[in-house]
């Protein structure tokens, strides 16, 4: 054997030995690692078994998992290493050689290279070189010991770690040996059951019971052994279906003793129950001590299945009996109502009661399952129904119902007419309308109050009148009557303060009363009425003056705006606002006029009710009211609407045209106001005469009444003081009459001196007759109860008052005749001037028809037409002056004259344009306007003639009647001819014009003869 082989075998044996030792150490390490993890896992599992009661199945599964883990660990980590020990592989030997060489830097891969070089005989190179290399490698590794490579000391750290779980186990064994022993047995023998007895026993002492529904029940339990840490009462409701039953666990507070009680306040259903206890010790965790199961059976109480309440109202109410809804025990009724109550229970009843809030009871008559009772409530209260079955078991917690008594409401009355303080007129009759209502009815309606004499409350008498009423609806009635207060013998300044009082028909608590608001009926003196009306009229005159001034300023402002617009090409925002402001002013003026109209209506109504105005004066007031409606003509309203629309569209041309129309309408409006103002003043003068006549008539009437009472032989002496007061009132009225005649005379001095003179004569007559002194003497005679002397003085005074009344009536008649004469003369003159102007216009139209555009006479015709325009303007002014004196002048007359004036103006323009044909056309239309104006004026004169006209006026009207027919026919023919015109071209023939001219000449001659 060669040296090289011997060296190889030696090195190879050392390598194998080292290889086996390495894997033996590796197997030891793997075993220690598995033991470390297994022991740790076992310690954890031991702790789990100490803390919890792990089932045997779980423990067995854990044991199997542990064995399975050991098997797979051995198969994967231990068996491969064992195989290397018993049958090393070349690859692993090479790795061992490499690992061993890496332990020394001088060796490194020498061992691996030596083994490979020796075994690789077929490699290229000479044998000598291979041997030489083997020798060198042998010498290199000869000093290296392979035994030092794999040592068991490397497993020492694993041995240290594995002592840790062993130490824990030993400590637990020392501390809790029994528990650790039991837990160890469970680990080693997991298929066995280790049951430890629970050291606590519960005893259900209350057991099975029967209780009434909704009664309380006390459940009792005792314990033996250890004291429980937690105690529970477990209840299962037996009233539910089996599938819906649920256990309810209630924790019971622990007392110091071993006896435990728990009370259920209300038991509604049967239930089973048991007690459960727990110990907080680890070994007994999740373990409980249970008592035996017992049953509490609930016995049902009697129940009212049906409750029916009937309410029978008191008879005086007239209400029908009513039934409450089933099972509705809330009672609402009027006092005196009878309540009938019936019940039906779920079982036989032995007795039942109605129990009220004050503990009083009313027995219910029972029969089997039902019961009935009746009572009459006297106050608001509450009640409940107590029932008992044949076992004397009563119903639980009976429902409490309320009894609410409705109030029999107080009656109500309202004086709807007059419903305010009023002044009496001459009739001493007051229309009354009283509305009353109550929920059930009435026993009576009275009018009560007091009469106060001469305004002093200390002299008063009370009165009471029962008045009828008529029901028109349940609980509602009206009393409509006329109250005649003549029996109170009122004199001026006396007043009645009254109210209505109604009582209802409450027979239970007695009738209730209601009193209305008090009102006053006063008998004003005629002096007061006249003074008040005069003051109001003066106020309205002042307001009309103010409105007239505002209208004048508005007209001037519109003229100024029109002038400015002619210089402008558009309307800016400021100008629009200025125009709108003027429109608002016009609207404000119209509203003020409406208010004045209302005030004048009130004055006229008061004067008419007291019969102060004559029929003629009243008619003129009515005409004044009609004038009010026409003060703002329709043209003004339309002009304002057109202007408003133009402003909204911002159309400059349309604004200018609309503003011009508005300006013209405002001018007409201003003229209407002036006319109304003048007519109003004239009517006031006539009214003043009516007032003076009325005063004189009143003096005569009152004196006559006193005289008639003095003649009566049966007049009691206590009436003399009343007659004395009436005579005193006559004296006041006479004094007032004298003053008013003086004031009226001054007013008439400016317009009618003759009227002023006649009033002065009447006043002097009063002074000459010494009326005031004679009235005072009669007062004294009445105070002394001197019937004959007073009667004689009264007759003399009556004669004087009749004379005074006649003088004033004559003065009024003269005034009316004088006014009519003046107006008729003015109308005659104006009509003659209109006819004259119309004839001149006719002649001028004839000349225009003969002219050619080149005629030199056109300028002369134009000048004459301008003069006729001036005459027409004067005629219009005359008509305006007449219209301010009478209502009989129709507003249409002014329109016709304005039409004639407009056509005359257009005729002048056409003549200036040297267009005589068109000028002739406008001249003929101007004649038509004159003809219509003449007819309108003639109608006005006819109306004036029908009133009491002075002599001479009627004859003039008869002569004009024939001319009126002729002029009317002529006017109709003229209009029909002009309506045949078309396109601005005249269609009148020579014969037609000649015929019209001849007819007009005949009318003119007839007028001259008249």
pLDDT of residue 315: 79
Phi, then psi, of 834 in degrees rounded to 5: -65, -40
Q: Residues with Cβ < 8 Å from 847, sequence gap 6 or more?
A: 857, 861
Using pLDDT thresholds of 50, 70 and 90, give the confidence band for residue 982: very low
pLDDT of residue 647: 65
Tell me the mean pLDDT in the region 647-664.
67
Phi, then psi, of 221 in degrees rounded to 5: -140, 145
How far is it, in rounded angstroms, from Cα 489 to Cα 472?
35
How far is it, in rounded angstroms, from Cα 613 to Cα 499?
33
The least confident of 661-670, 865-874, 912-921 is 661-670
**Which of residues 363 and 97 earns the better pLDDT score?**
363
CATH number belonging to the domain at 527-684, selected among 1.10.3470, 1.10.10, 1.20.120, 1.20.140 = 1.20.120
Tell me if 304-405 shares its fold with 527-684: no
Reduced to 3 states (helix: H, G, I; strand: E, B; else coil), residue 142 is coil
Reduced to 3 states (helix: H, G, I; strand: E, B; else coil), residue 82 is helix
How far is it, in rounded angstroms, from Cα 473 to Cα 437?
9
- Structural class in CATH, domain 200-299: mainly beta
Q: Residues with Cβ < 8 Å from 808, sequence gap 6 or more?
A: 689, 692, 693, 696, 759, 762
Cβ 495 vs Cβ 520: under 8 Å: yes
DSSP string, 771-815: HHHHHHHHHHHHHTT-HHHHHHHHHHHHHHHHHHHHHHHHHHHHH
**Which of residues 436 and 315 earns the better pLDDT score?**
436
Structure tokens at 47: 């702790």
CATH number belonging to the domain at 692-815, selected among 1.20.120, 2.60.40, 1.20.1050, 3.10.450 = 1.20.120
Q: Calculate the alpha carbon distances from 923 to 608, 847, 906, 919 in Å.
A: 51, 11, 9, 6
Question: Could you report the per-residue pLDDT of 445-461, keeping only the tens digit for each?
Answer: 989 998 887 644 456 78
Structure tokens at 423: 């002044």
pLDDT of residue 985: 37
Using pLDDT thresholds of 50, 70 and 90, give the confidence band for residue 994: very low
Tell me which residue has tokens 């083997």: 134
Long-range contacts of 530-537 (CB under 8 A, 24+ apart): 530/612, 530/691, 530/695, 530/736, 530/740, 532/606, 533/603, 533/606, 533/607, 533/612, 536/599, 536/602, 536/603, 537/600, 537/603, 537/684, 537/687
Helix axis angle for 3-51 and 156-175, nearest 10°, is 20
How far is it, in rounded angstroms, from Cα 269 to Cα 215?
11
Structure tokens at 986: 């005249």
Q: Calculate the alpha carbon distances from 554 to 12, 197, 635, 780, 1010 in Å.
A: 145, 121, 17, 63, 46
Using pLDDT thresholds of 50, 70 and 90, give the confidence band for residue 11: confident
How far is it, in rounded angstroms, from Cα 330 to Cα 406?
13
Q: Within its chain, how far is the Cα of 975 from the centroid? A: 62
Residues in the chain: 1010
Phi, then psi, of 247 in degrees rounded to 5: -85, 140
Using pLDDT thresholds of 50, 70 and 90, give the confidence band for residue 983: very low
Q: Residues of the chain with pLDDT > 70: what percent?
A: 74
pLDDT of residue 458: 52
Provide the β-strand partners of residue 444.
503
Tell me the mean pLDDT in the region 637-665.
67
Parallel, antiparallel or unpaired: strands 349-356 and 338-345: unpaired
Tell me the mean pLDDT in the region 151-176.
73
Using pLDDT thresholds of 50, 70 and 90, give the confidence band for residue 235: very high
Asked, as a colleague might, if the bond just before 454 is cis with ω within 30 of 0, I would say no
How far is it, in rounded angstroms, from Cα 364 to Cα 348?
14
Q: Residues with Cβ < 8 Å from 129, sequence gap 6 or more?
A: none
**Which of residues 260 and 182 earns the better pLDDT score?**
260
User: 24: which DSSP letter?
Assistant: H
Question: Could you report the per-residue pLDDT of 128-142, keeping only the tens digit for each?
Answer: 777 777 766 666 666
Q: Within its chain, how far is the Cα of 466 from the centroid? A: 44
How far is it, in rounded angstroms, from Cα 998 to Cα 836?
15
Q: Residues with Cβ < 8 Å from 981, sequence gap 6 or more?
A: 921, 987
Cβ 389 vs Cβ 352: under 8 Å: no
How far is it, in rounded angstroms, from Cα 279 to Cα 785?
126
**Which of residues 856 and 684 earns the better pLDDT score?**
856
Cβ 862 vs Cβ 920: under 8 Å: no
How far is it, in rounded angstroms, from Cα 126 to Cα 352?
137
Question: Could you report the per-residue pLDDT of 39-85, keeping only the tens digit for each?
Answer: 777 777 777 776 766 667 777 788 788 788 878 888 887 888 778 77
* Pick from 775, 810, 620: nearest CA to 699: 775
**Which of residues 196 and 279 earns the better pLDDT score?**
279
- Structural class in CATH, domain 304-405: mainly beta
Structure tokens at 784: 């002394």
Structure tokens at 13: 């044996």
Tell me the mean pLDDT in the region 434-442.
83
587 pLDDT exceeds 70?
Answer: yes
Phi, then psi, of 562 in degrees rounded to 5: -60, -40
* Pick from 116, 95, 118: nearest CA to 18: 95
Q: Which of 55-59, 624-628, 677-681 has the highest mean pLDDT?
A: 55-59
Q: Does domain 412-524 have CATH number 2.60.40.10?
A: yes
* Domain chopping of the chain, boundaries: 3-188, 200-299, 304-405, 412-524, 527-684, 692-815, 817-1009
**Which of residues 842 and 685 earns the better pLDDT score?**
842
Cβ 323 vs Cβ 331: under 8 Å: no
The least confident of 302-311, 631-640, 916-925 is 631-640
User: 853: which DSSP letter?
Assistant: T
Q: Which of 594-603, 686-695, 790-799, 974-983 has the highest mean pLDDT?
A: 790-799
The least confident of 302-306, 408-412, 543-547 is 543-547
Using pLDDT thresholds of 50, 70 and 90, give the confidence band for residue 1006: very low
pLDDT of residue 142: 60
Q: What angle do CA 818, 822, 825 make, to 5 degrees?
A: 135
Cβ 432 vs Cβ 413: under 8 Å: no
Helix axis angle for 771-783 and 787-850, nearest 10°, is 150
Q: What angle do CA 443, 449, 451 make, to 5 degrees?
A: 150
302 pLDDT exceeds 70?
Answer: yes
Question: Could you report the per-residue pLDDT of 518-527, keeping only the tens digit for each?
Answer: 999 887 766 6
Question: Could you report the per-residue pLDDT of 531-564, keeping only the tens digit for each?
Answer: 666 666 667 667 777 777 777 777 777 777 777 7
Using pLDDT thresholds of 50, 70 and 90, give the confidence band for residue 989: very low
Long-range contacts of 920-924 (CB under 8 A, 24+ apart): 920/845, 920/848, 920/849, 920/986, 921/981, 921/984, 921/986, 923/841, 923/844, 923/845, 923/848, 923/865, 924/845, 924/974, 924/978, 924/986, 924/988
Phi, then psi, of 48 in degrees rounded to 5: -60, -40
Using pLDDT thresholds of 50, 70 and 90, give the confidence band for residue 262: very high
Question: Could you report the per-residue pLDDT of 305-347, keeping only the tens digit for each?
Answer: 999 999 999 877 778 888 889 999 999 988 888 999 999 998 8
686 pLDDT exceeds 70?
Answer: yes
491 pLDDT exceeds 90?
Answer: no
648 pLDDT exceeds 90?
Answer: no
Please give the radius of gyration of the chain, using alpha carbons only, rounded to the nearest integer. 68
* Pick from 198, 220, 195: nearest CA to 209: 220
DSSP string, 878-927: HHHHHHTT-S-S-HHHHHHHHHHHHHHHHHHHHHHTT-HHHHHHHHHHHH
919 pLDDT exceeds 70?
Answer: yes
Using pLDDT thresholds of 50, 70 and 90, give the confidence band for residue 981: very low
Tell me the mean pLDDT in the region 470-490.
84
Tell me which residue has tokens 């609407």: 641
Cβ 114 vs Cβ 9: under 8 Å: no
Parallel, antiparallel or unpaired: strands 429-437 and 513-515: unpaired
153 pLDDT exceeds 70?
Answer: no
Question: Could you report the per-residue pLDDT of 796-826, keeping only the tens digit for each?
Answer: 888 888 888 888 888 878 877 777 777 888 8
Structure tokens at 201: 């026993």
Q: Is pTM, for the whole model, over 0.85?
A: no
How far is it, in rounded angstroms, from Cα 659 to Cα 631?
19
């Amino acid at each position: 054997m060669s040296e090289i082989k011997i060296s190889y075998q030696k090195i190879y044996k050392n390598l194998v030995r080292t290889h086996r030792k390495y894997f033996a150490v590796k197997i030891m390490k793997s075993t220690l690692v598995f033991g470390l993890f297994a022991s740790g896992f076992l310690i954890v599992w031991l702790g789990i078994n100490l803390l919890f009661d792990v089932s045997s199945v779980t423990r067995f599964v854990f044991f199997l998992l542990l064995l399975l883990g050991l098997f797979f660990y051995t198969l994967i980590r231990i068996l491969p290493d064992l195989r290397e020990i018993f049958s090393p592989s070349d690859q692993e030997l090479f790795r061992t050689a490499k690992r061993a060489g890496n332990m020394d830097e001088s060796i490194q891969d020498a061992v691996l290279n030596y083994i490979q070089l020796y075994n690789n005989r077929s490699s290229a190179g000479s044998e000598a070189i291979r041997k030489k290399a083997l020798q060198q490698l042998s010498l290199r590794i000869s000093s290296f010991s392979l035994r030092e490579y794999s040592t068991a000391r490397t497993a020492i750290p694993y041995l240290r770690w594995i002592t840790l779980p062993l130490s824990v186990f030993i400590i637990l064994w020392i501390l809790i040996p029994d528990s650790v022993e039991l837990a160890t047995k469970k680990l080693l023998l997991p298929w066995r059951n280790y049951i430890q007895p629970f050291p606590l026993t519960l005893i259900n002492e209350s057991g099975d019971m029967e209780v009434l529904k909704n009664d309380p029940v006390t459940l009792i339990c005792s314990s033996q052994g250890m004291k429980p840490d937690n105690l529970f009462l477990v209840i299962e409701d037996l009233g539910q279906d089996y599938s819906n039953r649920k256990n309810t666990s209630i924790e019971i507070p622990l007392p110091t003793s071993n006896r435990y009680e728990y009370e259920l306040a209300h038991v509604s259903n049967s239930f089973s129950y048991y007690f459960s206890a727990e110990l907080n010790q680890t070994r007994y965790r999740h373990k409980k001590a249970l008592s035996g199961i017992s049953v509490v059976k609930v016995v049902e109480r009697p129940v009212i299945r049906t409750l029916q309440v009937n309410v029978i109202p008191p008879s005086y109410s007239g209400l029908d009996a009513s039934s409450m809804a089933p099972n509705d025990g809330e009672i609402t009724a009027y006092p005196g109502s009878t309540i009938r109550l019936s019940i039906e229970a779920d079982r036989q009843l032995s007795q039942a009661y109605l129990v009220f809030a004050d503990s009083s009871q009313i027995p219910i008559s029972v029969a089997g399952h039902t019961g009935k009772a009746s009572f009459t409530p006297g106050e608001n209260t509450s009640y409940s129904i107590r029932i008992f079955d044949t076992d004397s078991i009563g119903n639980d917690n009976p429902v409490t119902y309320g009894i609410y008594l409705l109030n029999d409401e107080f009656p109500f009355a309202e004086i709807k007419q007059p419903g305010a303080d009023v002044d009496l007129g001459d009739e001493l009759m007051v229309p009354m309308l009283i509305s009353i209502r109550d929920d059930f009815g009435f026993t009576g309606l009275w009018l009560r109050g007091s009469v106060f004499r001469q305004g002093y409350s200390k002299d008063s008498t009370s009165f009471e009148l029962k008045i009828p009423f008529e029901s028109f609806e349940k609980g509602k009635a009206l009393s409509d009557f006329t109250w005649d207060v003549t029996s109170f013998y009122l004199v001026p300044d006396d007043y009645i303060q009254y109210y209505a009082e109604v009582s209802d028909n409450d027979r239970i608590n007695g009738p209730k009363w209601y009193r209305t608001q008090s009102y006053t009926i006063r008998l004003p003196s005629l002096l007061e009425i006249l003074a008040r009306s005069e003051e109001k009229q003066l106020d309205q005159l002042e307001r009309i003056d103010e409105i007239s001034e505002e209208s004048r300023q508005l007209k001037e402002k519109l003229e100024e705006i029109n002038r400015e617009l002619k210089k402008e090409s558009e309307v800016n925002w400021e100008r629009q606002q200025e125009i709108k402001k003027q429109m608002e002013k016009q609207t404000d003026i119209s509203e003020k006029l409406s208010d004045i109209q209302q005030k004048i209506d009130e004055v006229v109504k008061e004067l008419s009710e007291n019969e102060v105005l004559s029929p003629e004066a009243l008619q003129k007031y009515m005409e004044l009211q009609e004038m009010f409606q026409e003060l703002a003509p329709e043209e003004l309203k339309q002009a304002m609407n057109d202007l408003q629309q133009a402003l909204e569209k911002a159309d400059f041309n349309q604004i200018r045209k609309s503003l011009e129309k508005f300006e013209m309408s405002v001018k007409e409006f201003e003229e209407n106001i002036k006319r109304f103002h003048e007519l109003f003043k004239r009517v006031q003068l006539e009214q003043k005469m009516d007032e003076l006549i009325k005063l004189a008539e009143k003096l005569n009437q009152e004196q006559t009444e006193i005289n008639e009472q003095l003649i009566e032989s049966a007049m009691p002496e206590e009436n003399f003081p009343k007659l004395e007061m009436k005579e005193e009132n006559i004296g006041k009225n006479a004094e007032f009459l004298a003053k008013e005649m003086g004031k009226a005379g001054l007013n008439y001095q400016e317009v009618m001196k003759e009227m002023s003179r006649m009033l002065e004569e009447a006043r002097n007559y009063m002074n000459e007759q010494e009326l005031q002194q004679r009235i005072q003497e009669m007062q004294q005679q009445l105070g002394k109860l001197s019937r004959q002397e007073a009667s004689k003085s009264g007759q003399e005074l009556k004669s004087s008052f009749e004379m005074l009344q006649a003088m004033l009536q004559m003065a009024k008649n003269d005034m009316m005749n004088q006014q009519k004469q003046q107006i008729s003369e003015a109308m005659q003159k104006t009509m003659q001037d209109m006819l004259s102007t119309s004839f001149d216009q006719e002649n001028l139209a004839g000349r225009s028809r003969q002219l050619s555009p080149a005629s030199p006479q056109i300028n002369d015709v134009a000048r004459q037409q301008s003069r006729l325009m001036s005459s027409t303007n004067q005629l219009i002014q005359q008509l305006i002056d007449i219209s301010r004196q009478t209502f009989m002048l129709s507003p249409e007359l002014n329109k016709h004259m304005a039409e004639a004036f407009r056509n005359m103006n257009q005729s002048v323009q056409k003549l200036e344009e040297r267009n005589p044909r068109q000028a002739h056309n406008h001249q003929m239309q101007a004649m038509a306007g004159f003809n219509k104006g003449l007819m309108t004026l003639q109608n006005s004169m006819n109306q004036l003639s029908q009133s009491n006209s002075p002599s001479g006026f009627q004859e003039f009207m008869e002569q004009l009647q024939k001319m009126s027919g002729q002029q009317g026919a002529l006017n109709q023919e003229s209009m029909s001819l002009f309506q045949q015109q078309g396109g601005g071209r005249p269609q009148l023939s020579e014969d037609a014009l000649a015929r019209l001219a001849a007819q007009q000449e005949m009318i003119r001659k007839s007028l001259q003869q008249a």
